[in-house]
Amino acid sequence: MLEVNNLMVFFENALALNGLSLEVREGEIVGLIGSNSAGKTTLMNTVSGLIIDMKIKEMRKGGQRITVYGNIIYDGEDITETAPNQRVKKGIVLSRERHPIFPESSVMENFKIAGYLRSKTEVRETMDFVFTLFPPLVKLKNRKAGFLSGGEQQMLAIGRAMVVRPKLLLLDEPLLGLSPLMQKAVVDAIVNLNRESGITVLLSEQFARPVLPMVDRAYVVENGMLTLSGTGPELMNNPEIKAAYFGV
């Protein structure tokens, strides 16, 4: 479904991604594991196309120069230069880190805003599915999103992405800032949405322990480069992973 080939991203002279290649097959949950500043968010922004908007904004204000090399293939099509809104129409949807929601709008209003590309029936059906994934949101339908807890906001952010009806769902740091209990709730929901809807998931995360048991495969990125890859169990039992991420 997705192929990233020899991707290199520069912010001025700083190299954020260095010859990174990976693939995501249809129906998989694939993890991208790495510490802060490893390049995970840059990869997500590049796959989603947000990097194109970032380049344009920086050029307009005379800011840092952003340069991208390599290519991205989605469903057999080269989308390296495809605008982000067109990628959304093709089914690539990004849920960004740190709960990107509309704080002054209610939970229901957030869903309706996210579903502007879909019919009312499709939005209603997807909202019903989201509420089965995230039962705590049912009682919060009319609450302003800004008054939700961090975990509830993350549920809402993922739900907003679901309303767009993605084929490939990109989750950037979905567990960031959550308690262990809330991390488990979000992980369980990701597994359920993958199994029940067949949506392909690529997620980036620095917390390897809760992520590796749920993924089909994972890549480890350090300083913008891939250093390891394998199935979840293979990486869970890898001594280097244990030492770097589990403190063992």
SS (H, E, C) 35-93: CCCCCHHHHHHHHHCHHHHHHHHHHHCCCCCEEEEEEEEECCEECCCCCHHHHHHHCEE
Across the strands, what pairs with 171?
Answer: 95, 203
Report the DSSP beta bridge partners of residue 226.
221
How many whole angstroms separate alpha carbon 15 and alpha carbon 54?
16
Q: Which domain holds residue 70?
A: 2-246
pLDDT at 220: 93
Write down the pLDDT at residue 99. Answer: 62
Query: Which CATH number characterizes residue 40's domain?
Result: 3.40.50.300
Amino acid symbol at 123? V
Quick: pLDDT tens for 53-97: 999 988 888 877 999 999 999 999 999 999 999 999 899 999 887
- Residue 138 CB contacts under 8 Å (≥ 6 apart), including other chains: 131
In the prediction, which pLDDT does 66 show? 92
Whose tokens are 């029936």? That residue is 121
Q: Count the domains in the chain.
A: 1
Which residues of the chain are under the pLDDT cut of 50?
Answer: 248
For residue 166, which phi and psi values (nearest 5 degrees)? -75, 155
Does the pTM surpass 0.85? The reply is yes
Select from 157, 162, 224, 219 the least CA-distant residue to 29. Answer: 219
Residues 6+ apart with CB under 8 A from 32: 22, 40, 43, 202, 203, 204, 205, 218, 219, 221
The structure tokens listed for 200 are 């392909």
Residue with tokens 């001594």: 239
**Distance between CA atoms of 109 and 128, rounded to whole angstroms?**
14
